Amino acid sequence: MQAAARPGLGLRTDGLALAEGEVARRLRAWGLRRVRVPLHAARPDAHDWLVDLPGAARRVLRALRACAAAGLEVQVEAAVTRPTMDLLPETVAAAAGLGATEVHLRLPAPAPDDRVAVFPRLGLAEPLLERADRAARAAGVALWVHGLPACALGAARDRMAPPEPILGPPSLLPPAPQVATCAACPGAPACPGAPAAYVALFGRGELDDRCSRPVPGRQMPDGEGPPGTPPPPRAGRAPATRLAFAVGQAARGALRGDPLAGVPGDPIPPSLTASFPPQAPTRALRQELCRLSQVGSPVLRIADDHSLLHPDIGDLLRECVRLGFSRVEVAGPVDRLLALEDRDLVALRGLSRVEAWVAGEEEQAGVEEGLSRVARLSRAEVVVRVVGAG
């Protein structure tokens, strides 16, 4: 049973027992005023798959009709899930057609193994929630959204439901635990916060996506330059995640290869620094190099006492010179660099400068021959710097 936010007794039920009209009539006669029944999709196969019960949807549909006919106030609850979110607008319209006065959309809390299959991607769900909102307004049905972040609702943001008083068993769809706070939040204080399990699985990209939420009212220029101009660098602009943004960009045309055309970037720093901790896996280091190459800085510097000693320094530097930087400069102890094969040094053409750190004149004399081989094969400028012992 649900506490009465309004006068009268309400019942939250899966609805299967109400498919016989006589049950609904008796409950109404005993004083029940309203029922809330889950109908996750108006298409029977989708609802049945979600509740894992063949035939459930048809019984729920009969129950909803029976309850409305018995004079009960009918509310419908639908989980917002990946497989059913496309159907949200028609589910809301169908609920209205069955006599529902309220539709409650709720983010479920799937078991860990089911999260990828069940969680809706928030950036894709936004336009569907907006369409569901429009369907509800057109049908005169009250729509409430539970557990979804405000920043994922778009124009349906004012449909965010207040906390519900529950006396008895909780909702058939348990609420998804939320992360309490979000830095730089555009939606507080009404928002319940980001769904914790969702963030753990997919990250915060869609929640913190400033690229999909450009400043309201700002004029979005077309892509830069004439056709054939290379797209501008990311300059801190993360890929947009909102379907609505992508549709809007596609409608503008003339993006000239830049899906984020019109989104202002951060100032581009004159140089960037990378570091290769010796134990770090090369996959993570390559990912970081790719990220740095998208910023748009012309110069990449690697200058510390450990990066050039990474066991895969040859492969990592080859990656650096392929990433489109105008200059790649390295500095540090060069023992591993000098140990590279000739062909590995040839592959480093594009390396601009190597600064070899040595402890003193004796070590300097020991590396000179190797450094001249590095300079000859990689064509990098090579200098030696005495940094002192230790």
Shortest Å distance, C-beta 241 to ligand SF4: 13
Cβ(301)–Cβ(329) below 8 Å: yes
193 lies in the site for ligand SF4, by CB under 6 A: yes
147 lies in the site for ligand SF4, by CB under 6 A: no
Cβ(76)–Cβ(103) below 8 Å: yes
Size of the site for ligand SF4 (CB under 6 A): 12
Nearest C-alpha neighbor of 23 from the set 63, 58, 51, 77: 63
Name the β-bridge partners of 384: 356
Q: What is the DSSP string of 199-268?
A: HHHH-STTTS-GGGSPPTT------SSSTTPPPPP-TT-PPP--HHHHHHHHHH---TT-TTTTPPPPPP
Options 48-56, 105-113, 184-192, 226-234: segment touching ligand SF4 (CB under 6 A): 184-192
Q: Which of 42, 80, 173, 191 binds ligand SF4 (CB under 6 A)?
A: 191
How many CA atoms does the CB half-sphere of 279 hold within 13 Å?
Answer: 0
Q: Which of 64, 207, 240, 285 binds ligand SF4 (CB under 6 A)?
A: 207
Compare residues 154 and 296 and give the one whose CB is closer to ligand SF4: 154
185 lies in the site for ligand SF4, by CB under 6 A: yes
182 lies in the site for ligand SF4, by CB under 6 A: yes
Question: Amino acid letter at 78?
Answer: A
- Phi and psi at residue 328, in whole multiples of 5°? -125, 115
Helix (H) or strand (E) run with residue 116 in it: helix 115-118
197 lies in the site for ligand SF4, by CB under 6 A: no
Q: Which of 187, 223, 262, 350 binds ligand SF4 (CB under 6 A)?
A: 187
238 lies in the site for ligand SF4, by CB under 6 A: no
Shortest Å distance, C-beta 257 to ligand SF4: 30
Compare residues 186 and 324 and give the one whose CB is closer to ligand SF4: 186
Report the chain's terminal Cα–Cα distance, integer Å.
73
128 lies in the site for ligand SF4, by CB under 6 A: no
Q: Binding residues for ligand SF4, per CB under 6 A?
A: 149-151, 182, 185-188, 191, 193-194, 207
